[in-house]
Structure 1
Amino acid sequence: MYKSLPVWITGLSMLAAMPAWAQEKKELTFDQIFTRPVSITEPLPVVRGWADKDHYIEFRNGQALSVDVKTGKTSPYTPPPATGATVNVKGNDVYVQYPDGTEVRVTSDDAVEKNPTLSPDEKYVAFTRNNNLFAVEVATKKEIQYTTDGSDVIYNGWASWVYYEEILGRPSRYRAFWWSPDSKKIAFMRFDDSKVPVFPIYSEAGQHGFLENTRYPKAGDTNPEVKLAVVPVTGGKITWADFNEKDDQYFGQPFWSPDGSALWAQWMPREQNNLIIYAIDPQTGAKKALYDEKQKTWIDWFADIYFLQGNKGFIVKSDISGWDHLYLHNMDGSLKQQLTSGNWRVREVLLIDEKKQAVYFTARKEATTRFDLYKADLKGGQPQRLSFSEFSHDVKLSPGGDYFITTYSNLNTPPRMALLNEKGKVIRELGNARGANFDSYKLAPTELKTYTTRDGLTLPLTIIWPLNMEPGKKYPVLVSIYGGPDAGTVYDTWRGQLPAQWYAKEGLIQVAIDNRAGGHLGKAGMNYIHRQLGKYEIEDYMDAAKWLGTQPGVDASRMGITGGSFGGYMTCMALTYGASVFTHGIANFSVTDWQLYDSHYTERFMDLPKDNVEGYKVTSVLTHAKQYKGLLRIVHGTMDDNVHLQNTIQLVNLFEDQGKHFELMLYPGERHGWGGAKGAHSRNETYRFVYANLLLKPLPKFFQGTN
């Protein structure tokens, strides 16, 4: 599922404690917030990475400079001579662009080549055309066609929709082929969508409209049949990996071993509770299991496998213990060393330095709402924290790991930038966003708080309080959420966005809440939601909102909530299942019943509908429609190819049959979210809703689109 950011406020961080003289500061005006936004912070240095292990690259006045980490002295930075060619598409033709500016056109037909990708040795360009896999030799322009059976339901090297959306990811642009590191082979997936149900998406455009048909497997539907293959770059025999394509299974992103001797394939059964990495022999297709992980709930695909040099082993990040940690394996798959452990989560591996026998990574160890940089020994032991203090750190590590640059902040501290060595010692401060302009304005107080769930879990939330709260007066609340598994939004970081200041000035309490599956409690917290996706989450939001309702100045009779995608689902649940707590909501492009969403995402958490009838029932908004009260605005794009408009139509149908009052806003031709004129319209209509139903006053006339 596309992880849409909360619709209202993607960042809630503002100044928490105001000194006594703060009353003398200026309040931001509407013009300064919306029309000609004023910058309340100073820009930080623009650091774009590292020139080498002792020099980082900074841009000043449009010039690239190389900065010496020890002395701070600068010199003009000249990038090393480009050695790599690139691929460009002009019209329907593919060109190879060389560093000296010359280019070679390698295709010259009217057909469309998709995802042209250079081989590592730059001698070939592979691509798909009409759902078949091809390559062309750059020097001779000789075209090689590897497959011939491509059709409207057979795709070679081009992903089926559910793989594009949920497994390979949208950045893949549907590409499902991979060059070997020695450029001698291409691995690819072959998809057969012939048994996958067709979902029609209607467009109203023109006189007659049209249907856009997508092979979209919903929960419990037949999935595409998938085969994994390797073919020599020069063409010839295709070697099919030793799997039965008729099995109900999934394949994840494959990885070539560093020497190209084997293709490492990620495999799961449809239940998604067993992840096996197989080494595939490119010559025979024979497979050998190297890694085998089982969990009672579900397992996520590995985004990366970190290979050590010289076939000395590989590192994976697994949450099998209930928390994300690093495990070092020998190349035969046997476990050599668990590198990290404890009730905290590794986020990302930045560097493996085998000379130092160290791995550098970021993690949420000191607090679940902050990120820090750590160094751990490849032989195990306690990791060393390299970043500092009660800040969240965004790190750029030098190539050798001897230095790093961190941009750090917390909820109440605008970003600062510093250069440190690997011992965590600050070499020098590079920038501070808190300048004189920042201190000129009175900003709304913000707090990072915790709430307790009905079963005793402690989870975080942030609150932006109204700018000028009056004792004894009650203020409405707007909760902005996403809420999907491992997609938390509550962090102790500075995100100071100006629109939040306007709503605070107008008297709106703005809140972000994370539930137990949001990541703060690791996989252990996510496991609660297995087979009942949405139930615990909405109950957590209800518990947080009930706690909010007991706080001074909070009007529990005006408790609004909004979100998009999974956040839209949560909003719909809040006004039905949670209608005793939430009074108003704006639900954008929402799932309303998990049987209507795609197979891979839904079944990961819910299992198949036939095996979990009660779970699908209790988590459906449709089940709880009779409990609806308050006011819900339902918003959807008519051509949403991710969360289909069908979800909204089925809920609307129930509400109408039950005589419920609600609001509906459609955006014709729009997909899973919208921008441009539709985006402006959506924002303005949201303002109207908040003013009319939460703030209980007219929308100010100086908002764009009002008269």
Structure 2
Amino acid sequence: MAATKGRLLPCLLLIAISTHAQKQNYTFEQIFKNGETNVVKQLPTVKGWADDAHYLLTQKEADGHLSTTMVDVKTGKAVPYPDMDMSQLQPSTSISGGINITFSPNKKYAAYTKKDNNLYLYDVAAGKETKLTTDGSTTILNGYSSWVYYEEILGRATKYKAFWWSDDSKHLCFMHFDESQVPVFPIYVADGQHGYLENTRYPKAGDKNPDVKIGIASVDANNIVWADFNAQDDQYFGAPAWSPDGQLWIQWMNRKQNNLKFYSINLTDGSKKEVYDEKQSTWIDLDESERITFLPAGKGCIVKSDRDGWENLYYYDNNGQLKNAITNGNFWGTSIIKIDAKANVVYFKARKENSARFDFYKAGLDGKGLTRLSFGEYSHDLISVSPNGSYFITGYSNLSTPPALALVDAKGKVVREVASSKGSSFNDYNLPKSELKYVTSTDGTFELPVLITYPINFDPAKRYPVLISIYGGPNAGTVYDRWRPTGSPAQWFAQEGMIQVAFDNRSSGHFGKKGLNYIFRQLGKYEIEDFMACGRWLKRQPWVDSNKLCITGGSFGGYMTCMALTYGADVFPYGIANSSVTDWQYYDTHYTERFMNTPQDNPEGYKNTSVLTYANKYKGLLRIVHGTSDDNVHMQNSLVFINKLEDMKKHFEFMLYPGERHGFIGAKGVHSRYEAYKFYYQYLLEKPMPAAFWAPDSAQKGF
């Protein structure tokens, strides 16, 4: 038997080598010109449920058109499902000059703003337009966000919309902004013979914020009631919430952002009643779209809060009295998927079992019966629950398993696989291996997650250059145990022999609010020290060329990159910093002060987290990249850093993109990626950039 095994091992090894050799690498055309590989295919889209026993899938057919089918949960049989008539969802109207046109729930009215910054109402049946406000101007905005609210509180997805219909279509809540005392930041645009200035009311840390009022317009009475707040107070308002029984709840927060209150507003006279009060020693996030979830009329609401250090759910009655905690544990990224008010059960998604994965749970509103419904060691990133909770569909994956859809019953038992993204050529190509590692922080407090993608044909006896892609901002981790797309430039550089890495620090969300609280009043200090700990660990690995570490990121990731090449210069020799903050006094009030307080209140904190403070330590090679029309992180940040480096006679590279905003698109985006690839070839791979990159219209995908 031993002799037979001895003869078999070399044979099996030869077979394994032969099988591996038969696999092929991606070609340049497949990666950069969208060439076909059939390694993975697009999953159908889960469009919801027709009823508790039939789910809806939409997928692209061979001829390119979309088709929807209704699938029986028991038999798996699919039948065509008629596409919804979109004309039934939105009345046909002609509204001249309307911005953010939004129809009332009953479709009888439309609300919108115009360039005069007033709020308008349109009666669909009568074809009549009513001007709800009259004081709009260049500095008075009705229903249209001031920049800092658009960017930091309401979100860019709103497209500056700052008005909300009640469920009964009788009222319209809106925000009124007075920007007249907010400082103007000029952005020079080099178009035309003389160019021009684009002026934005942009409050930087410590500056005056816009004055905000909350108005409630009555559709029937055609009048406006103002909520009882003093617009001149130093305060913020979050997105309002309408309850099913017609209550209007307003989220209010003080300037320091450590006290959140909800007020119920009387729609008749604007008087307010406090229904929730939360205080924390550091900060509370206001830009939280799912903080309040109302139950059916009279049954209260669920509030999400991280006040105990993790994101848990709490059940409150209609008067804001706490009934009980629904969850109690190390949940993060908590998101309510569905509430079954009849069964008194809430379904939600969160990271708990593993901070790099999402799981699906249910729990009673009374805080009992917590059950994990998702299966296996996967990240379940898409969940769709049937109307009565009898089934759900999950979209799941991990680093070694491409995305798939599965039908699961109410007990968490898999009924069947609905679809897999594995293509017909999945086993025909060399795909890089990715894995999670954990590195102990310098202070021994945290096990920091590190995602490593190894080169194709990785040989641990060789030394490889390393490209580190980071972001690093508060609660914005990038390290997850989920499938990473194939056929991307990451695949190309794995084939070229480069190790590719992502780090997450203690404030990334992996360690809840407890980890986040470390950065209070010193935004950037612990983050860069955690990244340095990961960098030092990498340099100790026998398969890493310790002289060829390059770190890159954009926005907060650009800030981290600048810090890495200054504060962390002994660890990181190369970097490309895109659209970077370099000193927090140059960024906006709401974001910066949440973590740092004001420069007047925390001067040492601002000094200790400024890239400029550590410019004298710079000794590697940093490329600084910025768009001249960046309205988010102003190019001012890069200019003051460049000025400092020049005065110190430091060598660096600078790439300017005329007219580009916060992130580059079109030809400028292609050029930016092209130049980054050239940097990697020159300093990490130390070989010429392939001629294919020089061909016209070659690099079409981002890194």
Name structure 1 gaps, 5 residues minimum. Answer: 1-17, 87-95, 98-103
Match of 1:655 in 2: 645
Name the residue aligned to 2:496.
506
The superposition leaves residues 411-435 of structure 1 with CA deviations (integer Å, 9 ceiling, x where unpaired) of 1112222111111111111223334
Q: Counterpart of 1:175?
A: 161
Report the CA distance shift for 1:22/1:382 in structure 2 as closer, same or farther (over 3 A). farther
In 2, distance between residues paired with 1:577 and 1:156? 45
Say whether residues 1:368 and 2:372 are aligned partners: no
Secondary structure at 1:611's aligned position in 2?
coil
Q: Give the aligned partner of residue 71 of structure 2.
A: 67
- Is the aligned partner of 1:669 residue 2:659? yes
Partner of residue 9, structure 2: none
Does structure 1 residue 459 correspond to structure 2 residue 444?
Answer: no
Map of 1:29 onto structure 2: 27
Check whether the contact 1:49–1:56 (CA below 8 A) recurs between aligned residues: yes
User: Which residue matches 1:239?
Assistant: 225
Does the 8 Å contact 2:431/2:486 carry over to 1? no
Instruction: Give the secondary-structure state (helix, strand or coil) at the position aligned to 2:528.
Output: helix
Contact kept in structure 1, 2:298 and 2:318, CA below 8 Å: yes
**Retained in 1: the 8 A contact 2:40–2:421?**
yes
Q: 1:590 aligns with which of 575, 580, 593?
A: 580
State the match for 2:133 in structure 1. 147
2:385 corresponds to 1:397:
yes
Measured at CA, do residues 470 and 146 of structure 1 come closer, stay the same or move farther in structure 2, by a change above 3 Å? closer
Find the aligned partners of 2:513 and 2:597 in 1 and give their Cα distance.
Answer: 17
Residue 480 (structure 1) aligns with: 469
Q: Deviations over 1:566-622 (max 9, x none)?
A: 111110110001101000000000001000000000000110111111110111111
Distance (Å, rounded) in 2 between the aligned partners of 1:153 and 1:45: 47
Q: State the match for 2:692 in structure 1.
A: 702
Give how far 1:27 is off: 2.7
Q: Deviation string for 1:134-163 (max 9, x for gaps)?
A: 212222223222211111111111111100
Code of the aligned partner of 1:143: E
Task: Find the counterpart in structure 2 of residue 119 from structure 1.
Answer: 104
Contact 1:23/1:442 (<8 A) preserved: no
Q: What is the alpha-carbon distance in structure 2 between the residues aligned to residue 79 and residue 694 of structure 1?
A: 52
Q: Are the counterparts in 2 of residues 144 and 235 from structure 1 also a CA contact under 8 Å?
A: no
Identity of aligned residues (%): 58
Structure 1 residue 279 displacement after superposition:
0.3
Residue 637 of structure 1 is matched in structure 2 by 627
Q: Deviations over 1:5-51 (max 9, x none)?
A: xxxxxxxxxxxxx9664344223333333232523224434433222
> What residue identity is the alignment partner of 1:675?
I
Matched with 1:380 is 367
2:669 to 679, 686, 690: 679
Match of 1:12 in 2: none
Q: CA offset at residue 128 of structure 1?
A: 1.4
> Once the 2 structures are TM-superposed, how far is the Cα of residue 212 of structure 1 from its aligned partner?
0.3
> Residue type matched to 1:364 in 2?
R
What is aligned with 2:560? 570
TM-score (norm 2): 0.92
The separation in 1 between residues aligned to 2:182 and 2:53, in whole angstroms, is 54
User: Do the aligned partners of residues 59 and 122 (structure 1) sit closer, same or farther apart at CA in structure 2, a change above 3 Å counting?
Assistant: closer
Q: Distance in 1 between matches of 2:118 and 2:632?
A: 25
The one-letter amino acid paired with 2:540 is T
- The structure whose RCO (Cα within 8 Å, separation 6+) is larger is 1
CA drift of 1:552 comes to 1.8
CA distance in 1, matches of 2:167, 2:213: 21
> What is the alpha-carbon distance in structure 2 between the residues aligned to residue 480 and residue 80 of structure 1?
42
More divergent stretch after superposition (363-372 vs 179-188) = 179-188
Q: 1:431 aligns with which of 419, 427, 438?
A: 419
Judge conservation of contact 1:340–1:382 (CA < 8 Å) in 2: no
Q: Distance in 1 between matches of 2:693 and 2:74?
A: 51
| Deviation of the 1:436 alpha carbon | 4.4
Residue 412 of structure 1 is matched in structure 2 by 400
Aligned residue for 1:552, secondary structure, equals coil
- Check if 1:621 corresponds to 2:619: no
Secondary structure of 2:691's aligned partner:
coil
User: After superposition, where does 1:178-327 map in structure 2 within 5 Å?
Assistant: 178-234=164-220, 236-260=222-246, 262-301=247-286, 302-304=288-290, 305-327=292-314
Q: Deviations over 1:343-374 (max 9, x none)?
A: 23252101100122110001111100011111
Q: TM-score, structure 1 length as denominator?
A: 0.92
**What amino acid is the match of 2:150?**
Y
- Report the Cα offset of residue 236 of structure 1: 4.6
Mark the CA change 1:333 to 1:23 in structure 2 (over 3 Å): closer, same or farther: same
The answer as to whether partners of 2:243 and 2:297 remain within 8 angstroms in 1 is no
Q: Which residue of 1 aligns with 2:8?
A: none
* Equivalence for 1:38: 37
RMSD: 1.8
1:471–1:529 CA distance, 2 compared to 1 (3 A): closer
Q: Which runs of 5+ in 2 are unaligned?
A: 1-14, 699-703
